Amino acid sequence: MFKSKRHESKSYLNLNYITFIFIYLVSSSIFVFLNNYFPILFFDVFNVNRFLLALMQFLAYSILLLRPAFAAITDKYKIKGYQRKYYIILSGYFLGLIYILMGLNINNILIYGVFLFLIYMLSTMLDVSTKSLVIDISPTNEIKKKYLFFICVGEALGKFFPFLLFFLLINNIYSIASWETLIICSFLLLIPLLSILPFITERSQTNIQVVQNPEDFRNSEDYCLDLPKNAKKIFVLLCIFVFFAFSDVIFIYPFYPFILNKFGLKNFNLFNFFLIFYFLISITSSAIGSFLIKRTKPKKIILLLIPIIGLIYFLITIVPFTIFVILYFLVCSLGTITNLNISVYIMKFKNGSKSVYFHIIASFRNLSTFIFLPLGTLLSGFIATEYLIIIGAFLLNISLIPLIFITL
């Protein structure tokens, strides 16, 4: 009575692999400029008022708290018969436009704040819509992990191009002309996204047929129409866990200026040269993370890696440059593996096909960014970045407390 569409779905949806890569390549690139290199521009070149900058960040990041609302909108309302497709396309195109406008007005901190707000709004909608689509088209954990792997690949590649452009174009950190050239060249990274977005694939909601035999779903580890009896407790603990698991953003904004001032311009340029090869480590780490998920439970991996990451945070505040570079790449690798496992872990908490539960939990990552990133920017004017890194390590390890009590 039920006709299987598995083979058709596979050929129909595989085009999304390359689309997801480019979506996250561009969004990741934008955030490398925003959080890694713009702090140097603002702190060491423009010498902006850090209180004003923190206020702009605070207002911009407030939009991140609306992630569950964006998820609810994409769950409830269709555009031209599609649940996610046009949300992805529209938010992607407007994200590119706003980033260009921001780059052309980078020297005005107030205008920068307005565009920063819009960038976070559009990138949040893009991320919500894309990951909701992943949940929609992934009837099993295996398919879900495969899509998440390609998302990680896109994020890794997105960190390659900004590092390369910075290394090639910034010969003098204090040259405004060099920064303008860098920003204009960064616009070229938008071309792949704007070209590929129309090809995002999704089965039209008006033409949905039964995808597979209901018995297949009932036998699947992912089949869950009813939340567990202790769902409220698990939900609260997951939210607390995610909030503290990403609280280490408290030192992300002053971190690159910290490297520049601690090790000097020559070593900083050398560090940026090494960063060109970061994407290889990130892709490898994503593959390792996917492999580990198949061999053991995500919770065990997270419980193991978070204390190690916290320890490395402490060490990078005291070690010489050579050891710092090694530890930096190590912590980035472990962080990639950890984040992949966190995504898979919280995706287990769901109610049928509704993605809003995942996004409510994931929004606590945004809440953490909303609180700690502007706070770190503000405190960096009064507290040495080394202490902010140690505080970040402490906050990160707090996340282990609720995680221990989660049975999922």
Please tell me the total count of domains within the chain: 1
From start to end of 192-270, where are the E strands? none
What is the token pair recorded at 174? 């204090």
How confident is the model over 141-150, as pLDDT tens digits? Answer: 677 777 777 8
Does residue 268 surpass a pLDDT of 80?
yes
Q: Is residue 212 part of a domain?
A: no
How confident is the model over 52-100, as pLDDT tens digits? Answer: 999 999 999 888 888 888 888 888 888 877 778 888 999 999 999 999 9
Contacts of 379-386 with C-beta under 8 Å, sequence gap 24+, read 379/250, 380/50, 380/253, 380/254, 380/257, 381/50, 381/51, 385/251, 385/254, 385/255, 385/257, 385/258, 386/258, 386/317, 386/318
How confident is the model over 89-132, as pLDDT tens digits? Answer: 999 999 999 999 999 988 888 899 999 999 999 999 999 888 88
Residue 390 CB: number of other CB atoms within 10 A? 16
For the chain, counts of helices (H) and of strands (E): 20, 0
Q: Is residue 220 part of a domain?
A: no
At residue 11 the predicted structure's pLDDT band, cuts being 50, 70 and 90, is very low
Does residue 236 surpass a pLDDT of 60?
yes
Q: Is residue 113 part of a domain?
A: yes
- pLDDT at residue number 391: 96
- pLDDT at residue number 220: 40
What is the token pair recorded at 408? 């999922």
- pLDDT at residue number 267: 92
Mean pLDDT score across all residues of the chain:
83
- pLDDT at residue number 228: 56
- Mean predicted confidence (pLDDT) in 185-192: 88
- Mean predicted confidence (pLDDT) in 174-181: 90
- pLDDT at residue number 361: 83
Q: Is residue 5 part of a domain?
A: no
Among 8-12, 290-294, 384-388, the least confident range: 8-12
Return d(Cα 49, Cα 299) in angstroms, integer: 42
Q: What phi and psi values does residue 351 have, to the nearest 5 degrees?
A: -130, 100
Per-residue CA distances from 94 to 34, 123, 194, 368 (Å): 17, 9, 10, 25
Q: Is residue 310 part of a domain?
A: yes
Residue 84, C-beta contacts closer than 8 angstroms, at least 6 positions apart: 74, 129, 130, 132, 133, 136, 202
Residue 262, C-beta contacts closer than 8 angstroms, at least 6 positions apart: none
Q: What phi and psi values does residue 354 have, to the nearest 5 degrees?
A: -75, 125
- CATH of residue 103's domain is 1.20.1250.20
Q: Which domain holds residue 299?
A: 10-201+227-404
- pLDDT at residue number 355: 60
Q: Is residue 329 part of a domain?
A: yes
Does residue 217 surpass a pLDDT of 50?
no
Higher confidence at residue 234 or residue 148? 234
- pLDDT at residue number 310: 95
- pLDDT at residue number 201: 79
Q: Is residue 399 part of a domain?
A: yes
Does residue 378 surpass a pLDDT of 80?
yes
Q: Is residue 86 part of a domain?
A: yes
